[in-house]
Amino acid sequence: MGYPHPAHPRETPVISRYFGDAEARTLAGWQKRGGYEVLRQALATDPVDVQNVVKDSGLRGRGGAGFPTGVKWSFMKPDGKTHYLTINGDESEPGTFKDREIMRWTPHQLVEGAAIAAHAIYAETAYIYIRGEYTEPIHRVREAVKEAYAAGILGANAMGSGKRVDVHVHKGAGAYICGEETALMNSLEGRRGNPRIKPPFPAVAGLFAQPTTINNVETVSAAQHVLRHGADWYKSLSSPANPKSTGTKLFSVCGNVAKPGNYEVGMGFPMKEFLWDLCGGPPAGRRFKAIIPGGSSVPILTPEECEGAVMDYEGIQAAGSLLGSGGVICFDDSQDMVRQIARLARFYAHESCAQCSQCREGTAWTTRILERIRDGQGTMQDLDTLLEIADNMSGKTICVLSDSCATPVVSGLKKFRHEFEAKIPKNRSSVMIPGFSPAAA
Amino acid sequence: MVTLTIEGREVIVAPGTSLLEAAKTVGVLVPHYCYHPSLPVAGVCRMCLVEVEKFPKLAPACATTVGEGQVVHVHSEKAREARKGVLEFLLINHPLDCPICDQAGECELQDYTFAEGRKDSRYMEPKRFNPMEDFGGDVVYVPNRCILCTRCVRFMDVVAQDPVLCVAERGDRAYIGKFEGQDLTSPWASNVVDLCPVGALLSKDFLNKARAWELDRAASICTGCSQGCNVMVETRDGVVVRIRPRPNAAVNQHFACEVGRMHYRWMNRRDRLEVPMVSDGQGLALATWDAALTAAASEIASAGRVTVLASPALPNEALFLLQRIGAHVGASLVMTVPRGPEAPLPGVTDLALRAERAPNHTGAELLGFTDVSSPMAGLGANDLVIVADAAVASVPAGVRVIVVGTVLDATLAGATIVALPVCNVAEEDGTFTNLRGRVQRFLQAKAPPVQARPTYRVLGALAEALGAGAYPPLAADVFASLAAAVPAFAGLSYRGLGLQGADVTLPAEATT
Ligand SMILES: Cc1cc2nc3c(=O)[nH]c(=O)nc-3n(C[C@H](O)[C@H](O)[C@H](O)COP(=O)(O)O)c2cc1C
Ligand code: SF4
Ligand code: SF4
Ligand code: SF4
Ligand code: FES
């Protein structure tokens, strides 16, 4: 049985409780573990009451922005229009692989969460959008949906409630930008996956121009536990020190770390203990050099900055970064930060949807400069240029992909400038264009 | 109504107006690329970012609607810095093509860079290169110059409703592509060339013909069909080199079709009728204007049956004078309207390349001309036909012809007894009445050849020589006489028409 390692005693496995448990994948196994009972109750509950429990629990979106889920749901009013729920399982942020495990091990957890959320927002139809490369998760979720239909859990009369709940699984084609909520809706509609300008916001005109709520896979999975055990229970899972970040969070840990994997801890967990006790610290004989705590689009932290930080929205922000999607990327002292940052930039340059001038051109230019510096062809002027480009790329585009590229560059330059400078040949003031031989001196 | 302040000026506009359009109303231009008033808002170039007080970020003026009491700064430090940033980004991979680019002189990238761009380039890497591509039809794509504003894509998708273009690829590898197996051959495709703010989409027909600053321009009306699209006739050294749409919300918005655009070619015909000619029994011989007019008048006066065969491409002024002449001598008034397939522009209400391929079909009808298929049928010896710029397949034996035209066709040459050279539409002023009864002015764009004279002046003189009234020598005055004499045109004048036109009172059946 395949899960890498058993839960650490200091973890609080709620969503991840059945990771590694193959039986939980099946409908029978899921029901044996109490599955779909909370959906039965939810379907008999007024959507506003469902919204309120989730509001009280303080659950916030786990897709990156951390918007309060109950509040998001309460934007959806019973207005007679067709409502849609879209579940975001695109998960393409480098360093983030938590939703993948939810879908692989507990597809019914997701389907149940989706059905509850759909009911809560007066929707009869939910789309689960899964990143195309996720072949196993797609297969698992499709199987679960099929089983749920066969058992009458989904369909015209869901669990005998008289309510219709339909769930469709949509396979994305593998574009990072399709994780952005409005691009995802375009993609679902069969258009090019470009983010839309807001307003209108999805709650007003989203999928097929109807009121739409979009939630991350982990968010709806968590919401289900909130309903099962109540808002107070959910709040009790996290540190009482910060009532703004409640419950548990799945963190994916990767990079130079002894035990990479997914870890679920209560919000407010000390970061140092997380990295050392749970994840086993850096590989033997190494020291951490840098940590990106929330997927590749948030500022890079130094080990010193992580020292006293706690892992919740406000705690990581206080340390100088963001919780984001919860993808913790570790770099040890063997890593070349210029190379790593250039790789991140290259990812964003590759994935920019190309709508906004700043993003399309800025990500690519940033990458080219970084790669030139990496190859020993940089100038000191380049460092200032990078910062100015980053400034021109931030806060000016339709979505935040452009900002996401600028963020690791700016924080990397701020915190590891010496590594950049070390690669710049002394007294270089001009640049050799690749493919041209330098003039004979 | 919403009241706000833009660049210190108070603006009162309807709710829902964009900041960009609101700024226009007080003469403030917000620089922009992707926005176009006739296309859906995309908000992608991010050039139009403005500072709105109390907003956390700069706002795209094209995609932000006005709010009561807003205070907007278009030229604040922050907004200008952002635009400078966009310009720098757009120029990263943009080639230094201006010296050979057809867009130079009317390029928005060039203009804004000159106005507020950086003076240097910080880009040191090799530039991206993509080969030029023939898009089919009249359009060629130069991807290196493309700024991905998507105007062309949106036009083909939403306005032409013939979605053959798309954005292909992501990141800075993106370019405008054509869907597999499709070409830009829609009868309205060339509008993408006008819409393109840079030199990425170019007209093959115009390629390398002229630079924008060498051109003289005259407001005109397209002669391609009875729609009456407002156009600009652009000339270089007295040669028409391009016809482009001129905005008129009521007729053609910002658009013109391929047929109309190519209709300039005959305006440059070199085989023109250039001097008056009168038959001397052997053939046509050069004559003075006075002699030719006198000869024409006496031939008409002494003829048996007289027919006036006019082109429905003649202006109202000319047709009115022909009608007066016809009435004076009891002639029948006929025309032949060329036809072709109709091609609507689906995204714009009531805009189409019309089946009647003549700009003044309606005007001619209002002035008494009847559409016939064989205008010469039944004519014979002693009959006289005044052929006013009309094409004729053959002339029956014995029929004598007076040509009032721009050219002398071989089919007419043998039968012609007097030839009076007149200006073509690019060479004189006048009006056309479109199929909806909108009377629209066109202005002279170039000089006529040799001794050719404006049609209304030649026909006015002929009418006078026949004793059919005295007519003034200016187009505006001829039109005034027309308006006074023909009830449908009552109350209209050149001044009232302006450059956007006004409607005649159409009899009910003429509107169908
Ligand atoms: C470029 C970009 C990529 C994103 N990718 C994802 C993703 O893969 N999965 C996800 O849940 N949210 C992603 N988001 C965030 C979503 O736009 C959205 O905020 C989220 O799905 C909302 O769900 P939540 O409220 O449950 O967090 C992305 C955002 C951006 C700007
Ligand atoms: S910021 Fe980048 S990814 Fe986002 S919409 Fe603009 S171009 Fe696309
Ligand atoms: S598109 Fe404009 S800036 Fe570019 S080469 Fe042509 S004229 Fe110059
Ligand atoms: S070809 Fe021209 S109109 Fe089309 S996207 Fe490029 S710049 Fe815009
Ligand atoms: S004109 Fe507003 S974003 Fe392009």
**CB–CB of A357 and B45 under 8 A?**
yes
The residue length of chain A stands at 441
- Higher-confidence residue: B292 or A7? B292
Report the C-alpha dihedral over residues B75, B79, B80, B82, rounded to 10 degrees. -170
How much is the pLDDT for B512? 45
Element (H, E) at B387: strand B384-388
d(CA A175, CA A350): 10
Radius of gyration (C-alpha) of chain B in whole angstroms:
27
Helices and strands, number each (H, E), in chain B: 13, 26
Give mean pLDDT, residues A22-30: 97
d(CA A284, CA B509): 93
pLDDT tens by residue, A128-163: 999 999 999 999 999 999 999 999 999 999 999 999
Contacts of A355 in chain B (CB under 8 A): 42, 44, 148, 150
Residue A441 has pLDDT above 70, yes or no: no
d(CA A322, CA A315): 9
Residue A69 has pLDDT above 90, yes or no: yes
Q: Are A86 and A127 in contact (CB under 8 A)?
A: yes
Q: Are B19 and B79 in contact (CB under 8 A)?
A: no
| Whether the CB of A355 sits within 6 Å of ligand 2 | yes
Give mean pLDDT, residues B296-317: 96
pLDDT tens by residue, A257-281: 999 999 999 999 999 999 999 999 9
CA dist list (Å): B344 to B185, B194, B348, B511: 14, 19, 8, 17
Which of B93, B126, B166 is the closest to A361 by Cβ? B93
Q: Which of B33, B46, B153, B157 to mutate to test the interface with A (most CBs of A within 10 A)?
A: B46
| Residue A429 CA, ligand 1 centroid: distance in Å | 42
**CB–CB of B126 and A434 under 8 A?**
yes
**CB–CB of A352 and B41 under 8 A?**
no
Instruction: Please provide the average confidence, as pLDDT, over all residues in chain A.
Output: 95
Sign of CA dihedral B483, B484, B486, B487: positive
Residue in A104, A144, A197, A86 with CA at minimum distance from that of residue B45 = A197
**Two tokens at A13?**
């496995």
How much is the pLDDT for B289? 98
3-state helix, strand, coil in chain B (%, to 5): 30, 20, 50
pTM value is 0.94
d(CA B353, CA B355): 7
How much is the pLDDT for A432? 60
| Residue B254 CA, ligand 5 centroid: distance in Å | 19
> Is residue B502 classed as helix, strand or coil in its secondary structure?
strand
Q: Which residues contact A219 (CB under 8 A, 6 or more apart)?
A: A59, A61, A62, A63, A69
Residue B474 has pLDDT above 80, yes or no: yes
d(CA B308, CA B375): 9
Residue A157 neighbours by CB distance under 10 Å: 12
Q: One-letter amino acid identity for A131?
A: R
**pLDDT over 90 for what percent of chain B?**
96
User: From the CA of A351, which ligand is nearest?
Assistant: 2
Residue in A352, A323, A304, A307 with CA at minimum distance from that of residue A92 = A352
pLDDT tens by residue, A80-121: 999 999 999 999 999 999 999 999 999 999 999 999 999 999
How much is the pLDDT for B511? 47
d(CA A207, CA A211): 7
d(CA A391, CA A386): 9
How much is the pLDDT for B212? 95
> Is residue B98 classed as helix, strand or coil in its secondary structure?
helix
Instruction: Please provide the average confidence, as pLDDT, over all residues in chain B.
Output: 96
Q: Are B66 and B19 in contact (CB under 8 A)?
A: yes
| Whether the CB of B151 sits within 6 Å of ligand 5 | no
How much is the pLDDT for A433? 58
How much is the pLDDT for B380? 87
DSSP 8-class letter at B267: G
d(CA A18, CA A353): 37
Residue A4 has pLDDT above 90, yes or no: no
Residue B181 has pLDDT above 60, yes or no: yes
d(CA B343, CA B188): 9
In this structure, the strands spanning B165-168 and B175-178 are antiparallel
Residue in B194, B230, B235, B242 with CA at minimum distance from that of residue B217 = B235
d(CA B35, CA B141): 20
DSSP 8-class letter at A156: T
In chain A, what's the furthest Cα-to-Cα distance?
85
Burial class (CB in 10 A: 0-12, 13-18, 19+), B256: buried
Radius of gyration (C-alpha) of chain A in whole angstroms:
23
Residue A297 has pLDDT above 50, yes or no: yes
Q: Are A257 and A5 in contact (CB under 8 A)?
A: no
CA dist list (Å): B459 to B275, B322, B334, B422: 15, 7, 17, 9
CB burial string A124-150: b at 16+ within 10 A, e below: bbbbbbbbbebeebbebbbbbbebbbe
pLDDT tens by residue, B212-249: 999 999 999 999 999 999 999 999 999 999 999 999 99
How much is the pLDDT for A440? 43
Q: State yes or no: ipTM above 0.85.
A: yes
Ligand 1 atom 29, closest CA: A180
Helices (H), B54-173: 77-92, 108-116, 151-154
d(CA B46, CA B33): 8
Q: One-letter amino acid identity for B50?
A: V
Phi and psi (nearest 5°) for B232?
Answer: -110, 125
Give mean pLDDT, residues B288-311: 96
Q: Which of B18, B19, B44, B157 to mutate to test the interface with A (most CBs of A within 10 A)?
A: B44
Residue A384 neighbours by CB distance under 10 Å: 12
> Is residue B246 classed as helix, strand or coil in its secondary structure?
coil
In this structure, the strands spanning A261-266 and A248-255 are antiparallel
CA dist list (Å): B388 to A2, B108, B205, B256: 92, 44, 30, 27
Residue A2 has pLDDT above 90, yes or no: no
Closest ligand 2 atom to A177 CA: 3
**Two tokens at B322?**
């022909």
**CB–CB of B82 and A433 under 8 A?**
no
DSSP 8-class letter at B159: I
**CB–CB of A357 and B86 under 8 A?**
yes
Q: One-letter amino acid identity for B247?
A: P
User: From the CA of B196, which ligand is nearest?
Assistant: 4
Closest ligand 1 atom to A90 CA: 8
Which of A192, A355, A364 is the closest to B172 by Cβ? A364
| Whether the CB of A208 sits within 6 Å of ligand 1 | no
Residue A240 neighbours by CB distance under 10 Å: 9
How much is the pLDDT for B396? 94
> Is residue B217 classed as helix, strand or coil in its secondary structure?
strand
Element (H, E) at B430: strand B430-433
Residue B1 has pLDDT above 70, yes or no: yes
Give mean pLDDT, residues B14-42: 98
Sign of CA dihedral A262, A265, A267, A270: negative
Cα first-last separation, chain B = 38
Question: Which of the four pLDDT bands, split at 50, 70 and 90, describes residue B310?
Answer: very high
Phi-psi region of A368 (alpha: psi -120 to 50; beta: other; left: phi over 0): alpha
Q: Which residues pair with B356 in a beta bridge?
A: B339
Residue B9 has pLDDT above 70, yes or no: yes
d(CA B230, CA B250): 10
Sign of CA dihedral A23, A26, A32, A37: positive
Q: One-letter amino acid identity for B237?
A: D
Q: One-letter amino acid identity for B362?
A: T
Closest-CA distance, A241 to chain B, in angstroms, reads 30
Q: Which residues pair with A313 in a beta bridge?
A: none
How much is the pLDDT for A1? 32
- Higher-confidence residue: B380 or B288? B288
d(CA A73, CA A81): 15
Q: Which residues pair with B415 in a beta bridge?
A: none
Question: Which of the four pLDDT bands, split at 50, 70 and 90, describes residue B508?
Answer: low
| Residue A406 CA, ligand 2 centroid: distance in Å | 13
| Whether the CB of A346 sits within 6 Å of ligand 1 | no
Residue A39 neighbours by CB distance under 10 Å: 27
- Higher-confidence residue: A437 or B58? B58
Q: Which of A194, A360, A431 to mutate to test the interface with B (most CBs of B within 10 A)?
A: A360
Q: Measured at the alpha carbon of residue B313, what is the angle toward residues B311 and B316, in degrees to the nearest 5?
A: 95
